[in-house]
Amino acid sequence: MDAKLIVDEVRLTPILISDPPLLNVQGVHQPYTPRLVVEVVTRGGVSGLGETYGDTVYLDIAGRLAEVLPGRSITDVNALFALSESVDPHQADVDPAVDAGGLRGVRTADKLRLSVVSAFETACLDALGRTLGLPVHALLGGKVRDSVEYSAYLFHRWATHPAGGPVDDWGAALDPAGIVAQARRFDRLHGFRSFKLKGGVFEPEREIAAIRALAEAFPGRPLRLDPNGAWSVETSLAVARELGDVLEYLEDPASGTDAMAEIAARTDVPLATNMCVTTFEEVPEAFAKEAVRIVLCDHHYWGGLGRTRELAALCRTYGVGLSMHSNTHLGISLAAMTQVAATLPGLHHACDTHYPWQTEDVITTRPVFRAGRLAVSDAPGLGVDLDRDALAALHHRWLSDDGTHHDRDDTAAMRGAAPDWKPSSW
């Protein structure tokens, strides 16, 4: 093996990034959210980047994996899965509740581990691409498109965080007019064609009214509503009836494969998910029951860019559509999302991204959306460079935090404002 390809060192940098007070079924985003930046440095002196969730449970696994990677080749990405299993001590005692802030289905030991592996895989591919002078998409078999379409991600939100924190100039959006104003600003700034509204915050009638207002303001544009499983089957069907003429798809209206399958059987509105199909183990049942028409892939918890392509092949085989889920993330993840999305032939919907809500980053140049699309970089690796000063500042914030923000918890943030608050379901 070429010595240049051997891992010399792995650097893990937990950071806290500022985040606006976006509302969802579990509460409100905290003012700062944790992310982990992974750097894999080769003996050839090349450094590759990856990014993933930064909560404590991920940091634990990442620390163990980082210890055993030096001496192995950055080409050995398939070996990362077995290697991560061999170092993960927490496999048996994972709380299977829905993730405390991520809303990406139930927690499993596998999913936690894969969310870490994905950042290491991305970092290895970035390092390999930089070493060979090739973009990551070339390492995945080549791009099938030159740009990737993203959708605007609309949220009901407060103007400021109740307990203080970073302030932006978006103001509150708590009714249909506020959501339309937010959409207009996204349209003006980034040219997004599709709009997704995070639902499950207010009673369904108010969210239906917001989608209707969007349909009037942007006739013919693809619209989606995602209450993260907050509704019953009957409520979901009622919403589907109300909005069937304007929705591109309804995302996770109810929780669980059985509920989704029942809704799917009784409406023509396509259902999408990033909650009931989140692992390969969940695929057979959901596909057999025809519970979803679109799976939202996410390279973080599916285990990386290679596994995302495997999921895409499965969806293609079973005639299920594909798009991409997003959670709060920075530019390294956005670059990884764009590189893998560029290689997926059956990507027929605009991908989700939280990125426009993020005002801080650890890369030197912010990507620019044009007409809602990002150009696919042909530069070596992911095509992004680390801003070490920014990384150090965000790491310093993480070090200075008393632990309140080390684990994302939207419910805790909401209870800071309303101590008796409980997630609603309709």
Ligand X SMILES: O=C([O-])[C@@H](O)[C@@H](O)[C@H](O)[C@@H](O)C(=O)[O-]
Residue placing its CB nearer to ligand X in the complex, 131 or 228:
228
From residue 60, give the alpha-carbon distance in Å to each of 8, 87, 106, 120: 20, 10, 19, 14
327 is in the binding site of which of Mg ion, ligand X, none (Cβ under 5 to 8 A by kind)? Answer: ligand X
Q: Which residues 6+ apart lie within 8 Å of 169 measured at CB?
A: none
The residue count for binding ligand X (CB under 6 A) is 14
By CB under 5 A, which span of 157-165, 202-210, 267-275, 338-346 interacts with Mg ion?
Answer: 267-275
- Reference 269, options 293, 254, 246, 249; nearest CA is 249
Judged by CB under 6 A, which of 113, 157, 198, 299 binds ligand X? 198
84 is in the binding site of which of ligand X, Mg ion, none (Cβ under 5 to 8 A by kind)? Answer: none
Name residue 168's amino acid.
D
State which H helix or E strand residue 35 sits in.
Answer: strand 32-42
Here the tokens at position 177 are: 């007019």
Residue placing its CB nearer to ligand X in the complex, 235 or 326:
326
> Any catalytic annotation for residue 198?
yes
Should residue 52 be labelled a site residue for Mg ion when binding is judged by CB under 5 A?
no
From residue 267, give the alpha-carbon distance in Å to each of 197, 207, 244, 253: 20, 19, 9, 12
Find the catalytic residue in 137, 156, 161, 198.
198
Dihedral angle, C-alpha 235, 354, 63, 137, nearest 10 °: 110
Residue placing its CB nearer to ligand X in the complex, 225 or 264:
225
By CB under 6 A, which span of 253-261, 281-289, 322-330, 375-383 interacts with ligand X?
Answer: 322-330
Parallel, antiparallel, or unpaired for β 47-53 and 32-42? antiparallel
- Reference 230, options 405, 418, 66, 24; nearest CA is 24
By CB under 6 A, which span of 141-149, 311-319, 323-331, 399-407 interacts with ligand X?
Answer: 323-331
The interface with ligand X within residues 165-194 (CB under 6 A) comprises none
Residue placing its CB nearer to Mg ion in the complex, 25 or 140:
25
The interface with ligand X within residues 226-255 (CB under 6 A) comprises 226, 228
Find the catalytic residue in 111, 196, 300, 325.
325
Judged by CB under 6 A, which of 115, 122, 274, 339 binds ligand X? 274
- Shortest Å distance, C-beta 282 to ligand X: 15
**CA pair distance 122, 336, nearest whole angstrom:** 7
Q: Which residues 6+ apart lie within 8 Å of 60 measured at CB?
A: 90
Does residue 102 sit in helix, strand or coil? coil
- Shortest Å distance, C-beta 281 to ligand X: 19
Question: Count of alpha carbons within 13 Å of 85, Cβ hemisphere only?
Answer: 6
The interface with ligand X within residues 120-149 (CB under 6 A) comprises none
Residue placing its CB nearer to ligand X in the complex, 104 or 130:
104
Name residue 129's amino acid.
G
Say if residues 39 and 52 touch (Cβ distance below 8 Å). Answer: no
Name residue 3's amino acid.
A
By CB under 6 A, which span of 158-166, 171-179, 326-334, 382-390 interacts with ligand X?
Answer: 326-334
Should residue 103 be labelled a site residue for ligand X when binding is judged by CB under 6 A?
yes
The interface with Mg ion within residues 189-248 (CB under 5 A) comprises 226
Should residue 278 be labelled a site residue for ligand X when binding is judged by CB under 6 A?
no
Residue placing its CB nearer to ligand X in the complex, 84 or 328:
328
> Any catalytic annotation for residue 325?
yes
- What is the 3-state composition of the chain as percent helix, strand, coil, each rounded to the nearest 5? 40, 20, 40
The residue count for binding Mg ion (CB under 5 A) is 3
- Shortest Å distance, C-beta 256 to Mg ion: 14
The interface with Mg ion within residues 273-302 (CB under 5 A) comprises 274
Three-point CA angle 368, 351, 133, nearest 5°: 60
**CA pair distance 426, 419, nearest whole angstrom:** 21
- Reference 151, options 208, 96, 214, 108; nearest CA is 214
- Shortest Å distance, C-beta 9 to ligand X: 32
Query: Where along the sequence are the contacts to ligand X (CB under 6 A)?
Result: 22, 24, 102-104, 198, 226, 228, 274, 325-328, 352
Query: Where along the sequence are the contacts to Mg ion (CB under 5 A)?
Result: 226, 251, 274
Q: Which residues are catalytic?
A: 198, 325
